[in-house]
Amino acid sequence: MRPTTSRPATARTGSGRPAGKRRPVTGRRLDRAGPTTRADDTSAPAAEPTDGRTPVNRRRRTVLLLLALTAVTSAAALVLGLLSWAPDPPEPSRPLTLAEGERLAAVRVTNLRDLRSGVRVTAGVDAARIELVGWVDWSRSLLYLDVGGPGAGAERGLVQRVGAVLVVRPDPAAVPTPAAPPLVPPTDRWRLHRLAPGTSLAPVLDLLLGLAADRPDATRAAPDSGARWIARDTVAAGPVDVLQAPLPGTPAPRATPGGTSGSASAEPDGQARFWLDQDARLHKLVTRLPGVGPVTVVLNRTDRPTLHPVDALGGRPGLPRALTDAERRRLDQLPARLRAKSGATLTLTAPVGTDTNLRAAGWLNWTTRTAYLAVADLGVPDRRTLLRRDTTGLARADLPAGAAGGGTAEQPERPPLPPPAGPWRVSRAGGDAVSVLVDAAVAAGSVGPRGTAVRVREDVADGQTVDVVEVGSAGTRLRYWIDRDGWLHRLELHTDADAWAHLDLRPTVVPRLAPIPRPAAPRPHPAR
């Protein structure tokens, strides 16, 4: 028998491998779920604390806490600062310095030099308050405004004034708050107007035009004038000084010592407050007017358009000069050219008085030298005056509007043909504005002595360029609107009311203008 050798006993595992020895890791293992790879052999993340206080959350909470603490601290500091802050006391009022007095004295001269300005005015209080928006042209004493507010009354609408002559274009349906009027004014519905006694508009318009003069107001800056420096302020144009002084043309009230208020409102002592810049330009005025109450005027010095007066105020200004040879020939040949046209329709607008504004429509025949028209007065809208002018003289008849052609007072219809029977009044001539205009039109351009004519300006009528030629003396001033072909488009007459009436002509075939009915001659009594 082969002898056997004994080996030390070793423990075996269930797989038959010796205990204490391990198989090298090959990346695969067996478990209850079956074989897996190392990529699947990842450890589960550690469980977060149940209260969510991870390091990241703790840092975030700390930052938010610090920001909230900073905000609370800043707010507390701001409140404490506001509670402890007090504004600087206003500077006390004082007499004007020499420079301030010179600026105040030059205000009206500066306005005249600047020519024009936009303006906004509030005058009066409560139901009597009026508001005005528009422009003032100090160089021509011209105002062009839209009037509104609860106290506007019959003046609600557009207003133009040149000197003392006021024309209105009433608009009762306009909204209470005014707006800037159209830069080119409407051509219709303007009428000469007289402001009722006690109206607030008249003193306000006088105040606006009175803010210009051709020389400084030295007396307003005198030591005994009561003028004082009140405060500093800022307007849209920049910093200004608020000065207290009497209005131009008013007596200086006694100076009141001890005024220390820095407020910039009007005082009840009759003085006004002027917001002036360093160039003596007025930007705001606050005052009180008798019968009106508080008045605030705000000027927009950058809003300075060229203003156009309406026809009733003479139209655009011009530079009168002598006629050229061509203009003189057209004027001399005017009668022959008009007779060659035979006739025309005519439309008349005549502001002849503050209570008399006339409108008319009719025909003109140069061949028979006859004119026939219906005249309406805006103040008497239900009546018409028929006017017929021929070689025998001038005849008039007053009839109800329906029997004289109808239409409205603003736009009457042409008179009926043949002329109706009625109480016709016959005269050899008439001296009123309508008669003078009609006579001048029938005269077919007989314009008087050669040396009295001047060209006022160039204008436009019916789309045609015309020369406006003025003829006559200061007593009777007529203007002829003649185009470059020699046709007469318009005749204008300067009336006694310092306004301008005008008669417009349109060439047409004129119907036969029958004579007026003559009263039958009394029959002789039969001889007994």
Amino acid at 511: P
Round to whole Å and give the CA distance between 480 and 443. 13
Q: CB-hemisphere CA count at 13 Å for 511?
A: 12
Round to whole Å and give the CA distance between 248 and 81. 47
* pLDDT confidence of residue 47: 52
What percent of the chain lies above the pLDDT cut of 90? Answer: 58
Q: Helices H, strands E: what count in the chain?
A: 7, 24
Round to whole Å and give the CA distance between 135 and 116. 7
> Which H helix or E strand runs over 471?
strand 464-472
- DSSP H helical segments within 184-290, as ranges? 201-209
Residue 261 has pLDDT above 80, yes or no: no
* pLDDT confidence of residue 339: 86
- What 3 state SS string does 163-210 have? CCEEEEEECCCCCCCCCCCCCCCCCCCCEECCCCCCCCHHHHHHHHHC
- What tokens does 115 get? 């020519």
Round to whole Å and give the CA distance between 43 and 30. 17
Nearest of 501, 500, 499, 455 to residue 481 by alpha carbon: 455
- What tokens does 240 get? 């200004």
The per-residue pLDDT for range 73-97, each reduced to its tens digit, is 888 777 766 666 555 566 788 899 9
- What number is the average pLDDT over the span 350-376? 94
- What number is the average pLDDT over the span 239-260? 68
Residue 265 has pLDDT above 90, yes or no: no
